[in-house]
Structure 1
């Protein structure tokens, strides 16, 4: 990371850190976990310090319609790093906007607008099936102050975004491969033609080969998943070779929508 990039990231995230520190809570004997979405008893659950997260989730009772595979754990402690990541990505896109390649410059402007609207959520990858968490301690973390768990209803679409003329939201097809969605939402001329990044609804990211020479076995995308079509490596190698990987990682921090669910 260049010194200029570092300074700009630090300056742009300073208000976040000041607010974050000002909002810090004193150490207490209890922690509060908020459970939202498709659960029978949404609300704030006070737990003894050291209690496991599943205690709150079992009390909240996820509903049969809840999409556990897309549930999200949002942690305050993860937001700062995500804010830095976002600032770095915005800086890289600002540099790309100055490219002599008109298509690359236009794409950078579009991605910058999309990224600006996405918050640093604090989402971390976690297993959030309560009964499974109870039986597997490694999947049942200690509850932390201000933890938020969201259980969405099951979506029925897959999103395609990135190096496209326009992002797409397409109906999910249970037997469809990644290439099915790409065919319906073609990439533009500055896209990487060899790989895409698949962000599954649980927050895991996979890099999938799509060219003839590296095409992977059939790879399904779960409902609510996102396919990120990366920018060609040749355009990013002098800006940040890790840009596409980092952009996909930031997309993975975005929870699925949390609609109101009738009891």
Structure 2
């Protein structure tokens, strides 16, 4: 290993035209193909919280990268031991992430012209613009688990970025008039955070998306009749969508949730 520093068409038609090649479903499927042992490309990993790049002369496995990154982290005054919040990005697939973001932005711009969705679409455009996104590999980043199960310990040929994070004390809220960071409370459910945010819920608000810090995404009931009583982890995000039965709006919600899971900064 080497270290180096470092407007006339109907709304539905317009939404269809804006739906580009990469949906969140395609993104998820692509994640399953990143362990190809036939590659002989060396591994390079930029540690985003340090001015350090890990360089190897051959592909190495994920656990080795995490071990070396942890060693570097020991030299830091900050504690980055919250593996649930670690984030691994494949640099070579950044164009696919950019394509997804462009598609989401174009569809939201169309919705912002509709009086029924103008407020939430405009708010989401502002909120999503504040972040940078990367092609995140949603995989277990707990070294103890990787040592016990080699099927979760893939080779990493190519270039990556790895963010080691400490345990945050907040939960983020998207889809409200302004993005909010709320203090994390153990045992609180999504509905508790919405009450704290004084979010003006309507009868249509029956579901929310929960994006956990490890990148997993779940659509969950939040109304009195379907409340699944699911709690975010520290650093998680709650996204309130359009709560529409329209297939294209549901796909847009899923794509937005995927983008939120891929936030880099």
> Structure 2 length as normaliser, TM-score?
0.76
**Paired residue for 2:138, among 125, 135, 154?**
125
Decide whether the 8 Å contact of 1:190 with 1:232 is kept in 2.
Answer: no
> Structure 1 length as normaliser, TM-score?
0.77
Question: Which residue pairs with 1:99 in the alignment?
Answer: 114
Decide whether the 8 Å contact of 2:90 with 2:136 is kept in 1.
Answer: yes
**Paired residue for 1:160, among 136, 151, 173?**
173
**Residues of 2 paired with 1:28 and 1:82: CA distance?**
25
Which has the higher mean CA deviation after the structures are superposed, 180-189 or 133-142? Answer: 180-189
CA distance 1:191–1:72, shift in 2 (3 Å): farther
**Paired residue for 1:147, among 160, 174, 187?**
160
**Residues of 1 paired with 2:49 and 2:133: CA distance?**
20
- Aligned-residue Cα RMSD (Å) equals 2.8
Which has the higher mean CA deviation after the structures are superposed, 112-121 or 87-96? Answer: 112-121
Moved over 4 A (4+): 1-10, 62-65, 188-192
Decide whether the 8 Å contact of 1:33 with 1:143 is kept in 2.
Answer: no
Is the aligned partner of 1:110 residue 2:123? yes
Alignment of 1:1-263 (within 5 A): 6=17, 30-37=42-49, 43-61=52-70, 62-63=73-74, 65-101=80-116, 104-162=117-175, 164-188=176-200, 192-216=204-228, 218-233=229-244, 237=246, 240-255=249-264
Structure 2 residue runs without a partner (length 5+) = 1-11, 22-38
**Residues of 2 paired with 1:222 and 1:33: CA distance?**
27
**Residues of 1 paired with 2:234 and 2:157: CA distance?**
29
**Residues of 1 paired with 2:104 and 2:41: CA distance?**
39
**Residues of 2 paired with 1:167 and 1:7: CA distance?**
25
CA distance 1:161–1:252, shift in 2 (3 Å): same
Structure 1 residue runs without a partner (length 5+) = 11-26, 258-263
Q: How many pairs are equivalent?
A: 231
**Residues of 2 paired with 1:111 and 1:191: CA distance?**
20
**Residues of 2 paired with 1:29 and 1:198: CA distance?**
36
Any idea what SS the aligned residue of 2:147 has?
helix
